[in-house]
């Protein structure tokens, strides 16, 4: 089983790198993006691949949730296990992709070491997030957790907002920041982000408690959940709250900027 998962991960890692290189090549040929700076094209490429991963992971998560909702603690969904290797490979690849985007925007930096240090300083939270998922979260959930795959599906569903987050970056790099589609995407992004990355956690606990008949009280049922599960939820939830705050601030800034540009009518 482990050998098969490793093989899937290795092939997936190659696939993510190949998709990145393919999109990067197409952007150099497309007249709309061929004139853009290297940093812009690097961010668009990184965002496109991230959006593909988010959509795929979210779809697998939804399938797992629907298939396992009748027995959240016991039901298994094999595709969720297989996709964990694909997702792990993506987060390994994305550490490289984020560095590529950072390096492209720091063309004036003299040494690779200086560029690497500035990358760690700028994206430390994301780097820790990715490494934690690869080394702790995926192995703990898939291989060492007594939970049913309903919960793994829920965690995969957190990626449903990723295509909208990345569409925002792509639209911005294409100079469409003041377009209606940018505003609509921003509203969808915040709504789905709040639903799939924050509201999802109380929903998971509610689903678990609704099917617990052995424990006399909900408090005792919660106490039976391994501490590592609670810590994993907190570890995932904390950065989501931070990022949602940044999104709301960004949305307010866009609304205020557009309001200030409206012509003032003379009395």
Judge contact between 64 and 108, C-beta under 8 A: no
pLDDT band at 140 (very low <50, low <70, confident <90, very high): low
- Tell me the C-alpha distance between 5 and 190, whole Å: 34
Average pLDDT over every residue of 169-193: 91
Q: How confident is the model at residue 43 (pLDDT cuts 50, 70, 90)?
A: very high
* CB distance 95 to 130 below 8 Å: yes
Tokens of 114: 């200086």
Share of the chain above pLDDT 90, in %: 40
pTM: 0.84
Task: Tell me the average pLDDT across 181-204.
Answer: 91
Q: Which of the residue ranges 74-78, 91-95, 224-228 has the most confident prediction, judged by mean pLDDT?
A: 91-95
Handedness of CA 49, 55, 58, 59 (dihedral sign): negative
Give the residue carrying structure tokens 């190659």. Answer: 14
**Residue 267 pLDDT grade (very low, low, confident, very high; cuts 50, 70, 90):** very low
Q: What is the pLDDT of residue 166?
A: 95
pLDDT at 57 over 50: yes
Average pLDDT over residues 201-217: 81
Average pLDDT over residues 253-262: 68
Q: Given its phi and psi angles, is residue 75 left (phi above 0), alpha (psi -120 to 50 degrees) or beta? A: beta
Over residues 127-145, the mean pLDDT reads 75
Rounded to whole angstroms, how far apart are CA atoms 159 and 131?
A: 17
For residues 239 and 188, what is the distance between their CA atoms, to the nearest angstrom?
A: 19
């Amino acid at each position: 089983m482990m050998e098969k998962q490793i093989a899937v991960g290795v092939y997936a890692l190659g696939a993510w790198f190949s998709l990145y290189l393919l999109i990067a090549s197409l952007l150099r040929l497309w007249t709309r993006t061929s004139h853009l700076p290297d940093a812009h094209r690097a961010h668009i490429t990184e965002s496109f691949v991230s959006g593909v991963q988010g959509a795929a992971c979210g779809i697998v998560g939804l399938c797992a949730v629907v298939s396992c909702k009748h027995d959240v603690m016991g039901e298994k969904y094999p595709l969720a296990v297989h996709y964990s290797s694909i997702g792990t490979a993506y987060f390994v690849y994305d550490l490289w992709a984020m560095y590529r985007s950072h390096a492209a925007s720091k063309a004036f930096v003299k040494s690779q070491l200086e560029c690497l240090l500035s990358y760690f300083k700028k994206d430390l939270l994301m780097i820790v997030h990715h490494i934690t998922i690869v080394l702790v979260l995926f192995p703990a959930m898939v291989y060492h957790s007594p939970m049913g795959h309903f919960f793994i599906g829920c965690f995969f569903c957190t990626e449903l907002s990723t295509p909208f987050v990345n569409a925002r970056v792509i639209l911005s790099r294409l100079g469409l920041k003041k377009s209606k589609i940018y505003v609509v995407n921003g509203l969808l992004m915040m709504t789905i982000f709040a639903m799939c990355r924050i509201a999802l956690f109380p929903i998971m606990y509610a689903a678990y408690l609704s099917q617990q008949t052995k424990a006399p009280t909900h408090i005792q049922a919660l106490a039976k959940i391994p501490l590592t599960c609670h810590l994993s939820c907190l570890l995932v939830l904390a950065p989501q709250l931070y990022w949602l705050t940044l999104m709301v601030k960004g949305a307010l800034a866009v609304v205020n900027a557009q309001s200030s540009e409206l012509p003032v009518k003379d009395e």
